[in-house]
Amino acid sequence: MEKHVHVFHHPLIQHKLGIIREESTGPKEFRELVNEIAKLMAYEITLDLPLTDVTVQTPVAKTTVKRLSGKKLGIVPIMRAGLGMVDGILSLIPVAKVGHIGLYRDPETLEAIEYYAKLPEDAGERELIVVDPMLATGGSASAALTAIKKRGAKNIKFLCLISVKEGIDRIHQDHPDVPIYTGAIDPGLNEKSYIDPGFGDAGDRLFGTK
């Protein structure tokens, strides 16, 4: 299967990513920008949604208009930090259902520990966008994708703000069917497996917990 990684080059996405990388950007601005970036990414990721023709009656005449015709959409944030991307995406796709996967990365072992999972009942019929700001070692995303597939999901895209090659390779290896969409591929991980330069701990910066 062809490996798929798409990097968003939209100038607004790149500009806003630059601001959230700054240490001095506080939680309020960080949250707003993460949602704005997620919204822009959602615009880009939905450019290929299929359309069909339908006939409607305007106040003046009958005409043919376009309607979305493909699978219904779902958003699955990986908690906590993925929550920060949901509202931005929902502002463009308000009818999408939202599932949740709760995972945290054990700071010692880096293993992803699952503590919550709730998906739409018809997850298998939907096109799911799994969202998390960071793809670092890939352990969390890989575990989340496994958990989601176990519950029936088949059509999945993974959307993150920044990533590194290690995490991308992990997803390609464990989930070759899942295309990855990212705002940047950073040079690597530091000794604590944080993305370097990255933007630090995404959950803590979103929720002000540090």
Residue 72 Cβ, how far from ligand URA at the closest point, in Å?
30
Q: Is residue 131 within the footprint of ligand PRP (CB under 6 A)? A: no
Q: What is the dihedral of CA 177, 180, 181, 182, to 10 degrees?
A: 180
Give the bridge partners for 185, in sequence order.
163
Q: Which long-range contacts (CB under 8 A, 24 or more apart) does 28-31 make?
A: 30/205, 30/206, 31/84, 31/206
Contacts of 158 (CB under 8 A, 6+ apart): 129, 130, 131, 132, 135, 141, 145, 171, 175, 178, 179, 180, 181
- The residue (of 39 and 105) whose beta carbon lies closer to ligand PRP is 105
Q: Is 134 annotated as a binding residue?
A: yes
Interaction between residue 198 and ligand URA (CB under 6 A): yes
Please state the closest distance from residue 140 (CB atom) to ligand PRP, in A: 3
Tokens of 55: 């006939």
For residue 90, the tally of other CB atoms under 10 A from its CB is 17
CA-CA distance, 195 to 124, in Å (whole number)?
32
**Can residue 167 be called a binding residue for ligand PRP (CB under 6 A)?**
yes
By the rule CB under 6 A, 104 interacts with ligand URA: no
Which residues, 63 to 82, sit near ligand PRP by CB under 6 A?
78-81
**Cα 114 from Cα 4, distance rounded (Å):** 26
Phi, psi angle pair for 166, to nearest 5°: -55, -45
Among residues 104, 125, 152, 174, the one that binds ligand PRP under rule CB under 6 A:
104
* Residue 195 interacts with, from ligand URA, ligand PRP, none (CB under 5-8 Å by kind): ligand URA
Q: Across the strands, what pairs with 1?
A: none
Comparing CB distances to ligand URA, the nearer of 36 and 201 is: 201
Name the one range near ligand URA by CB under 6 A: 42-50, 64-72, 175-183, 192-200: 192-200
132 is in an annotated binding site: yes
In the range 110-149, which residues lie near ligand URA by CB under 6 A?
134, 136
Annotated binding site for uracil: which residue ranges?
A: 195, 200-202
Residues contributing to the site for ligand URA (CB under 6 A) = 134, 136, 194-195, 198, 201-203
Annotated binding site for 5-phospho-alpha-D-ribose 1-diphosphate: which residue ranges?
A: 80, 105, 132-140, 201
